Copies of this chain bind each other. A is one copy, B any other.
Amino acid sequence: MDDLVPLREDLVDLGEAAALSRAERRDQTIRRILDAARKCFVASGFQGASMHQICAEAEMSPGALYRYFPSKEAIINAIAENDRREDMETFAAMFDNPSVVDGVVESTMAYIRHVHERDMAPLFAEIRAESMRNHMICATCLEHRDGVASRFETYLADAIAAGEIAPDVDLSTLLAMFMTIGEGFALNNLLALGVPENQIEILVRAMVVAMLKPAAPPATSSVS
């Protein structure tokens, strides 16, 4: 409605340097479609949202939209792919922090804030539900999960070498637990529920410290 201004404006005003190439225009339109689709999917779910709703939100006709995506499923895949990647990148910020405890705590808190600020919970829930029955989405989730997991494993292994983690802790279990708990935070927008951020951090930190150095295993232990 407000971008029906003449298309040649760019060309006239800025000359060929700033003119958008065909490919750039295409990318822009694709982004427009994905933004619209995301909005519709959050409101109605993957199956509940219709292509007509998405077209209306993107302000284009079905015929035009289908020049960019061959099917609804392709849009869903693209949305899931983008969302999972973004999520995992947020989480991966921790690997720059030399202290594992600080790294995990800070990136967990950053993630909690991220979920709140961008209201990621609904789409996350949708993607995760879809991943339970759609092979394509499942593969996307696993791919990004594994990407983070492998880097996480090296990160933790380094920490063991540095003595920050009890050497007898089972790395793959620890990793699975961290990711599981992270998904709990993705699903529950705690900040929106009014839980104070600093209180969350106290407990997250206590939790992380304890899990990195758990009490000696109950069998034949004599630590302390």
Contacts and interface: CB of A to CB of B under 8 A. Distances in A.
- Of A131, A201, A203, chain B has the most CB atoms within 10 Å of the CB of A203
A192 to B, nearest CB: 11
B190 A218 contact: no
The 8 residue pairs across chains A and B that have the minimum distance between CB atoms: A184-B184, A210-B210, A206-B214, A47-B47, A125-B129, A122-B132, A173-B199, A129-B129
Given A180-B188, A184-B183, A203-B214, A132 B128 contact: no
Interface string A190-224: 10010110011111111101110111011000000
A185 interface: yes
22 contacts: A43-B133, A122-B129, A122-B133, A125-B125, A125-B129, A126-B132, A170-B202, A173-B199, A176-B188, A177-B203, A177-B204, A180-B181, A180-B185, A180-B190, A184-B187, A202-B215, A203-B211, A205-B214, A206-B210, A206-B211, A207-B210, A209-B210
Nearest to A112: B180
Number of copies: 2
A147 to B, nearest CB: 16
What range describes how many residues of A lie at the interface? 35 or more
A35 interface: no
Contact of A128 (B129, B206, B211): B129
A205 B209 contact: no
- Give the interface centre of A47, A172, A202, A204 by most chain B CB atoms within 10 Å: A202
Contacts of A203: 173-174, 177, 211, 214
A28 interface: no
Given A121-B132, A125-B129, A199 B170 contact: yes
Nearest to A182: B184
Nearest to A121: B132
B199 A188 contact: no
A9 B132 CA distance: 42
A131 B200 CA distance: 24
Given A125-B125, A125-B132, A126-B129, A218 B202 contact: yes
